[in-house]
Amino acid sequence: MRYLWMPAAVNRQRRRKFVYRQFKMEPNREDNSSLTASLLCSILSLNVPPVLGNQMFELYQLQTALLRRRRMREMMERDRRRRQYLRRRRAFVLSSIAGILSVITTTNRPIWVRNRSTGENFWSAAELFNDEEWKAQFRVSRATFDYLVELIGSTIKRRRTNYRAPIEPRRRLAIALWWYSRAEEYRSISNMFGVGIATVCIIVRQVTSAIVDRLYNRFVSLPSGQRLEETLRAFQQRCYPRCAGAIGGTHIPVAPPRENPDHYINKRGWHSVVLQAVVDHKFCFTDVYAGWPGSTSNATVLSSSDLYLKAEDRPDGYLFPREKSILSDGVEIPVHLIGDMSFPLKPWLMKGYSQEHQLSLEQRRFTYTLTSAHSVIETAFVQLKGRWRCLLKKTDIDVTMMPRVVAACCVLHNICENLDDCFLPEWNAELAPASIHLIQPEIDPYDGDAYCTAEVIRDTLTYNLVTILDY
């Protein structure tokens, strides 16, 4: 058989097919098989009967096929390894060329951002503010601002590329604080800080996430240990014993959401989400839970919060360590929170008596004392919304992002309180213009209380208040 010139591998494969056809592809020709078997026996000098010769030939064919398949597998594996090697070498060469080109060349874009004049860039002049001007503009002192940069600067910092230098962390934080404190449109903030409109939105979200993810657990937590002792002593000086904080709720305005907007309309007729918070004697937030639609009652929000689950899932039903409890007339009085009439009565959550019934002198005194101690929550809400006006009026931010914004503002509030960054009277939310100051809806009294252990604890506190305060 005549072969044309071709690669060696193809040539060998065709030779194999030719031999295979000669010995294998004609199984119906018994004389050819017998002849081949006789020829094989003669070559090997074997004196065997023809029948055994045929069997030996079949064995020879089987061994030949096995060897052929083994060689084919080896060739295919060798070709696969070779292709893999070539791909890796090509990828290495291309990546090396790209790395070299990125070092020795730069990309010049004809237009990247709008060239802003110096007069439009508020940030260039803000660095020259004195401490008083800085606090008036950003609602935090320069020392607090530098402390925040130290805490989250590495998180909000962005990598430098060949296109342009990234916005530095200080300006990113300043943009977010300005939005928190002013809640202005992105366009005006863009002109003031010399960045794009979309960049302002992105920076606000990035800084908010950095504050919540990095700082929330550090600065927002229920008191324990020495902090708990200080809180108990402080509320006892307010004439209310065994109190670890005040719990309350307030409504945060939001833009009408796309999904189920009617659920977010509160009793005052505007869209909002509910913020449930616990505040200690220093007006610091120790627990924050936000995001429920404005039509939801405080009791419903409480029953779905982690605070409620933490207290109710404990075997003893107490929120704070039981060893901090005291005995009065054989009744155990645990460390508890205090709330208004919209919350249920629990061993770990006390509230005053309803004014619907005729109250005794002791009951009126207890209710007045509890209400006076509970006023810390109202003060904290006023300072929170007064410092961060984004919680005082409707903003364009998505309602799903609003709980994180609320949590970030509470963290910033606690940091300011811990650093003695005082709240200025002109920031008072109650003094805000009527156009942005929305009146809070009235609370719904909770009427699901039944006589239980909490009633016994409250009655004991009511009629032994003076004795317990002297404990």
Beta bridge partners of 338: 246, 350
CA distances from 130 to 135, 145, 265 (A): 9, 13, 43
Q: Tell me: pLDDT of 257 over 80.
A: yes
**Helices in 388-437 by DSSP H: which ranges?**
402-418
Coil vs helix vs strand at 246 = strand
- Residue 106 banded pLDDT, cuts 50, 70, 90: low
Q: What sign for the dihedral angle of Cα 315, 320, 322, 328?
A: negative
Alpha carbon distance 423, 139 (integer Å):
8
The helix, strand and coil proportions of the chain, stated in percent and rounded to the nearest 5, come to 55, 10, 35
Model's pTM, two decimal places? 0.74
Could you tell me the two tokens for 362?
């002791």
Which DSSP state fits 110? S
Residue 179: what are its φ and ψ, rounded to 5°? -70, -40
Residue 61: what are its φ and ψ, rounded to 5°? -60, -40
Which DSSP state fits 61? H
Alpha carbon distance 160, 164 (integer Å):
7
Structure-model confidence comparison of residues 58 and 132, the more confident one: 132
Coil vs helix vs strand at 3 = coil
Alpha carbon distance 340, 456 (integer Å):
18
Alpha carbon distance 129, 125 (integer Å):
7
What is the per-residue pLDDT across 394-411, written as a single tens digit (0 to 9) for each?
887 889 999 999 999 999
Q: Tell me: pLDDT of 28 over 70.
A: no
Residue spans of the domains in the chain: they are 120-218, 223-469
The 243-253 sheet, strands edge to edge: 285-293, 272-279, 243-253, 336-338, 349-350
The reported pLDDT for the residue numbered 37 is: 56
On whether the CB atoms of residues 351 and 338 are closer than 8 A, the answer is yes
Could you tell me the two tokens for 119?
């007069």
How wide is the angle at C-alpha 340 spanned by C-alphas 334 and 341, nearest 5°? 105
- Residue 160 banded pLDDT, cuts 50, 70, 90: confident
CA 387 to centroid of chain Cα atoms: 24
Q: Tell me: pLDDT of 294 over 70.
A: yes
E strand residue ranges, 32-183: none
What is the per-residue pLDDT across 331-357, written as a single tens digit (0 to 9) for each?
999 999 999 999 999 999 999 998 877
The reported pLDDT for the residue numbered 127 is: 81
Provide, rounded to the nearest whole percent, the portion of the chain with pLDDT above 90: 57
